[in-house]
Amino acid sequence: MATLIDGKDVAAKLRAQIAAEVETLDPKPGLAVVLVGEEPASEIYVRLKQKKCAEVGIESFKHELPEKTTEDGLLALIDKLNKDEKVNGILVQLPLPKHINKFKVMDAVLPEKDVDGFHARNIGLLVQGQQGLQSCTPRGVMALLKAYDIELAGKEVVVIGRSLIVGNPVAQLLMNENATVTICHSRTNDLSLYTKKADVIVSAVGRKNLVTADMVSEGAVVIDVGTVRDGTKLCGDVDFENVKEQCSAITPVPGGVGPMTIACLLENTLLAYKMQKGGA
Ligand SMILES: NC(=O)c1ccc[n+]([C@@H]2O[C@H](COP(=O)([O-])OP(=O)(O)OC[C@H]3O[C@@H](n4cnc5c(N)ncnc54)[C@H](OP(=O)(O)O)[C@@H]3O)[C@@H](O)[C@H]2O)c1
């Protein structure tokens, strides 16, 4: 039976550390959260992020813009937030309406306030292996692996998914830890050919039962980033019930990577604050 990698527990410990540090700070770190349009899932995420900010003493400032906001209108708000000393981190909730170029928006946020790690400069620093702000979900995956002492140097890791938000940066972070990384995606011909020889599998796709027990080698570690609505339930990419009998450690969905993403957003906001004050 596999070890359950408990993201709730690791995230709670990380939030407690952040709260203890924030308590010593004056002024408090501030996070601006920008929401464009009325996507219900985005509204839930934004509310949750604000709630978690409040729990650790980080101030949050919510900016809601209508769906018809122009790209220039959004860029003007970001410019204002870039100049606002009370704002240490800026998060623009994705997805954005189709008429707005998300890359323009990502690159408009000052790199030192880019708590999502999406700015081209932060991605460049990640590739260089230098300190910058790194994408929250990939950071969360790495923190879970570290919390459970999962060795990465020299290991074969398969990342499924190559998005700029998860697959790509997590592969880079794993490589920075000296893992041998293979990235699979929708055009990979035989996924199981790669997953079967992996010591660690990180799946970030969003497809129920994409990873089944026959695709996982005995004793592998399985990190499930995927989130899929299955009726009223939430599930991941991995056939959890069967894969857990096969692997040595596994994250559940919910309660695995999800809580780590928000905890790492709080950590990034604190890191951004310290970078801006010259303390990091
Ligand atoms: N728990 C969390 O905190 C958290 C945070 C972020 C995302 N997520 C979840 O993680 C999942 C991925 O998010 P994302 O933003 O990276 O999604 P995305 O941008 O849609 O990327 C999905 C990736 O999966 C690949 N893919 C699709 N079908 C595949 C298949 N049959 N076999 C192999 N690869 C396949 C795609 O390949 P191509 O590049 O070839 O299209 C793409 O690279 C989603 O379920 C999302 O909800 C969870």
The answer to whether residue 169 sits within a structural domain is yes
The answer to whether residue 130 sits within a structural domain is no
The answer to whether residue 1 sits within a structural domain is no
Condensed to tens digits (0 to 9), the pLDDT of residues 178-218 reads: 999 999 999 999 999 999 999 999 999 999 999 999 999 99
Predicted model pTM:
0.97
The one-letter code for the residue type at 108 is A
Residues forming the active site? 49, 93, 116
Residue 14 · residue 140 · CB < 8 Å: no
User: If you take atom 22 of ligand 1, which residue's CA is the nearest one?
Assistant: 205
What's the gap in Å between 207 CA and the centre of ligand 1? 8
Residue-level pLDDT at 160: 99
The answer to whether residue 20 sits within a structural domain is no
SS3 for 22?
helix
Residue 91 · residue 116 · CB < 8 Å: yes
CA atoms within 13 A on the CB side of 104: 13
Beta pairing class for 233-235 and 228-230: antiparallel
Query: Do residue 159 and residue 193 come from a single domain?
Result: yes
CATH number of domain containing 80: 3.40.50.10860
SS3 for 112?
helix
Residue-level pLDDT at 278: 87
Q: How many domains does the chain have?
A: 2
Residue ranges around ligand 1 (CB below 6 Å): 137, 160-163, 165-167, 184-188, 191, 204-207, 210, 225-228, 257-258, 261
CATH number of domain containing 190: 3.40.50.720
What's the gap in Å between 168 CA and the centre of ligand 1? 10
Query: Do residue 103 and residue 140 come from a single domain?
Result: no
Domain encompassing residue 92: 26-112
Condensed to tens digits (0 to 9), the pLDDT of residues 57-67 reads: 999 999 999 99
The answer to whether residue 13 sits within a structural domain is no
User: If you take atom 18 of ligand 1, which residue's CA is the nearest one?
Assistant: 163
Query: Do residue 54 and residue 96 come from a single domain?
Result: yes
Pocket test for ligand 1, best of 45, 134, 163 (most atoms within 8 A of CB): 163
